[in-house]
Amino acid sequence: MKKCRFFVVFILLAFANMLCAGEGMWLPLLLKALNEEEMQSMGMKLTAEDIYSINKGSLKDAIVHFGGFCTSEIISDQGLLLTNHHCGYSAIQSHSSVENNLLKDGFWAKTNSDELANPGLFARFIDRMEDVTEKALMGVTDDLSSEERQSIIDKNLDAIKASYELSEFEDVIIRPFYHGNQYFSFVTVTYNDVRLVGTPPESIGKFGSDTDNWVWPRHTGDFALFRIYAGPNNEPANYSEANKPYNPKHSLPISLDGVEEGDFTLVFGFPGRTNQYLPSSAVEQIVETLNPAKISIRDSALKIIDGHMRADESVRIQYASKFARVANYWKKWIGESQGLVSTGAIAKKKKFEEEFLNKNADNPEIRSILPRFEKLYKANEEYAFTRDYYSEVASRNIELLSLTGIMNRLIDRYENNGRDDYNSYLQRVKGYLEGFYKNYRPEIDREVFASLAKMYVENVNPLYTPESLKVANRDMENFAKGLYSQSSFADPNKMMGILSLPPESAIEKIKTDPVFMLGTEWSNLIDAKVNAPYNRNKTQIDELQRKYMQAIIETFPKKRFYPDANSTMRISYGQVNGYQPRDGVTYMPVTYLNGVIEKYKPGDYEFDVHPKLIELSESKDFGEYADSNGDIPICFLGSNHTTGGNSGSPAIDAHGNLIGLNFDRVWEGTMSDINYDKSICRNIMVDARYVLFIVDKFAGAGHLIKEMKLVHPKAN
């Protein structure tokens, strides 16, 4: 009972104490209680009901979870879907070949029948959400162990799920919020026929590539267009030629009026994961131990790969996507650590903790949370470090070792379930390996192995190092040479040959392969000596985090607290804003086409510019898409709180119109996952007018523009 009450109280007192505008990823369902007033004071002309309603079409009906990993939005009454180029990347890549390279040249369907199907890609709507905390926590009392507690909750959640009547394409998802203090259910509707409609060439959609990734000033047209198709009654349906464009409950009109510093912005999407309520001891560990380890490993791997990519064009193509993936978070972590230090995040957390302790002066139980955290994080440090080190070295960066897990699963299938299951999994393994070897160079991987395995031996407690690797470290390069020449894993023909043998012989060959033996020895050691104690500590840490979250909310009843991101639908709001990355430097919030031309490096794989775009820029054939200064706006900055998963989220103006498309954050502010700081945390959006300009003037796809509703909200 008590638990339910404190949430009601905290909602009622919400406005007594405002957060700095910009911070927070809010639940659409609670906007009325928590945010509407502040949003309107910042210039928003909408009501909470216009944004999220279960009674009428509202903005939320245009917001779509794209494949479960990105956000997208509906921009026409024929189901036209806008998302990022980098979100559609693998779909675009899958339709590309050397003769018909959609990545390089772009693609624009002239009619519906030219649009390209993408098996496996789905578009998911949220029909409604509900607070189910009371039912989820029924029977849960304070004296339960965390296992007992979880088992009661699991049963409750099953019962809640069973109480929904759902049709074939509906589902219900229940997620914990506030670290297990609250539960919400989401009824989803999933469309499985999502087709590619249009994409600019990479030189626009990925302009600046890794050099500009996470960076302002930015000039990337990171967008692509898809379309949702539905069955005869506008219902979800599996792919069929007979399907028709989906007619949505709501689609976003697009503003032609652009943005100015200070304009209200709302970002609506599916942020993945944040950690806003960590104790200072945990943040310290990230800054001092975990991030530096992960960064240093990727440093080494990226240097080796980069050298080969620069020396050989075919390697560059093979490794481009891998390199981008590894470099993305490498760069993010560097920015995150620097931002945490430069804004004094740890000192800020410590100050907050002091206040928390003071306010709980007469509650020893609550006061004990922080020292207990400290002890647990200390106790877990070596395990957390080793886990990260192992995963970066053996699962994420040494490519051959990453195959060990897959082979172990294949063997398990045979040993536990028999031949049929083995054969069905084998098909998947073969498919995976085909893609793997297509973009694989053993001589590069061998160099990565030598460098990273050496780092592992030298930086990780020898207790967690396989014996064979300790011996190998006397001459790691030589060891790597032997390993890569003896292992069948390094040779696609040998590997595929083994997999075509009868299961018994194949398994025998796999089990005696030196890469498999090393990989398995290593992962078993980590499981037994690192993961087991890590998980025991982690369960206690999670339990403590739930209590800490509850105590924070009760200790500061006048403050609003937003739940950490968990891939559920959220709203962040802020303003168009530049920032000062360092002393003496101020960044403007908008970039223009002339900046694309400034960055232009003919022939460069990151900064080449398409001749047609140069021509348009010179002839100033901008139509109605130019800004008041006569140039085409490209990207703009906002103080909206976003994270991974918010890619493709719409940026919406005060009236509910689309003004841009979220795709990144600035490097200095990537720490916003842990500590949002208004001074440097900014999200980066493509200006909607650049999207329209490219579709209309660059691609000549005026028929798509005709589908959209273009508006002039500022004129009225």
Q: Answer yes or no whether residue 86 interacts with ligand ARG by CB under 6 A.
A: yes
The answer to whether residues 663 and 86 touch, using CB atoms and an 8 Å cutoff, is: yes
511: DSSP letter: H
The three-state secondary structure class of 445 is: helix
Nearer Cβ to ligand GLU (231/272): 272
Decide which of ligand ARG, ligand GLU, none touches 555; Cβ closer than 5 to 8 Å per partner kind. none
The least distance separating ligand ARG from the CB of residue 86, rounded to whole angstroms, comes to 4
Contacting ligand ARG (CB under 6 A), which of 76, 185, 209, 243?
A: 209
Contacting ligand GLU (CB under 6 A), which of 642, 677, 690, 694?
A: 642
Count CB atoms within 10 A of the CB of residue 262: 11
Q: Answer yes or no whether residue 210 interacts with ligand ARG by CB under 6 A.
A: yes
Decide which of ligand ARG, ligand GLU, none touches 213; Cβ closer than 5 to 8 Å per partner kind. ligand ARG
Contacting ligand GLU (CB under 6 A), which of 353, 564, 664, 687?
A: 664
User: What is the separation of C-alpha 80 from the centre of its chain, rounded to a whole number of angstroms?
Assistant: 23
Tokens of 670: 């990537």
The least distance separating ligand GLU from the CB of residue 220, rounded to whole angstroms, comes to 11
Stretch that binds ligand ARG, among 47-55, 102-110, 206-214, 308-316 (CB under 6 A): 206-214
Gap between the Cα atoms of 30 and 36, Å rounded: 9
Nearer Cβ to ligand ARG (320/490): 320
Q: Answer yes or no whether residue 646 interacts with ligand GLU by CB under 6 A.
A: yes
Annotated catalytic residue 647: yes
The secondary structure of 208-267 as a DSSP string is THHHHTT-SS------EEEEEEE-TTS------TT-EE---S----EESS---TT-EEEE
Gap between the Cα atoms of 177 and 154, Å rounded: 15
The least distance separating ligand GLU from the CB of residue 222, rounded to whole angstroms, comes to 8
The least distance separating ligand GLU from the CB of residue 332, rounded to whole angstroms, comes to 7
Write the single-letter amino acid at 196: L
Annotated catalytic residue 65: no
Q: In terms of Cα–Cα distance, which of 678, 707, 680 is closest to 692?
A: 707
Annotated catalytic residue 146: no
The least distance separating ligand GLU from the CB of residue 249, rounded to whole angstroms, comes to 25
Nearer Cβ to ligand GLU (133/213): 213
Gap between the Cα atoms of 690 and 593, Å rounded: 9
Stretch that binds ligand GLU, among 191-199, 334-342, 638-646, 704-712 (CB under 6 A): 638-646
Q: In terms of Cα–Cα distance, which of 28, 30, 25, 24 is closest to 8?
A: 30
User: What is the separation of C-alpha 255 from the centre of its chain, rounded to a whole number of angstroms?
Assistant: 27
The one catalytic residue in 488, 647, 649, 672 is 647
Site track for ligand ARG across 322-341, x = CB under 6 A: --x---x-------------
The least distance separating ligand GLU from the CB of residue 148, rounded to whole angstroms, comes to 37
Gap between the Cα atoms of 412 and 409, Å rounded: 5
Question: What ranges make up the beta strands (E) of 520-563?
Answer: none
Q: Answer yes or no whether residue 656 interacts with ligand GLU by CB under 6 A.
A: no
Decide which of ligand GLU, ligand ARG, none touches 324; Cβ closer than 5 to 8 Å per partner kind. ligand ARG
Nearer Cβ to ligand GLU (7/663): 663
Q: Answer yes or no whether residue 665 interacts with ligand GLU by CB under 6 A.
A: yes
Contacting ligand ARG (CB under 6 A), which of 257, 263, 627, 664?
A: 664
Q: For the chain, how many helices (H) and strands (E)?
A: 29, 22
Q: In terms of Cα–Cα distance, which of 625, 464, 577, 602 is closest to 529?
A: 464
Contacting ligand ARG (CB under 6 A), which of 177, 214, 330, 698?
A: 214
Decide which of ligand ARG, ligand GLU, none touches 67; Cβ closer than 5 to 8 Å per partner kind. none
Gap between the Cα atoms of 175 and 129, Å rounded: 11
Stretch that binds ligand GLU, among 51-59, 306-314, 613-621, 661-669 (CB under 6 A): 661-669
The one catalytic residue in 50, 61, 193, 222 is 222
The three-state secondary structure class of 189 is: strand
* Cα distances (Å, whole numbers) of residue 420 to 407, 425, 427: 16, 9, 11
Is residue 574 within a helix (H) or strand (E), and if so which, with residue range?
strand 570-575
The answer to whether residues 445 and 484 touch, using CB atoms and an 8 Å cutoff, is: yes
Helix, strand, coil abundance in the chain, percent, nearest 5: 55, 15, 30
Q: In terms of Cα–Cα distance, which of 221, 417, 444, 476 is closest to 323?
A: 444
Nearer Cβ to ligand GLU (213/280): 213
Stretch that binds ligand ARG, among 73-81, 210-218, 434-442, 460-468 (CB under 6 A): 210-218
Contact residues toward ligand GLU (CB under 6 A) are: 642-647, 663-665
Q: Active-site residues: which are they?
A: 86, 222, 647
Contact residues toward ligand ARG (CB under 6 A) are: 86, 209-210, 213-214, 324, 328, 644, 647, 664
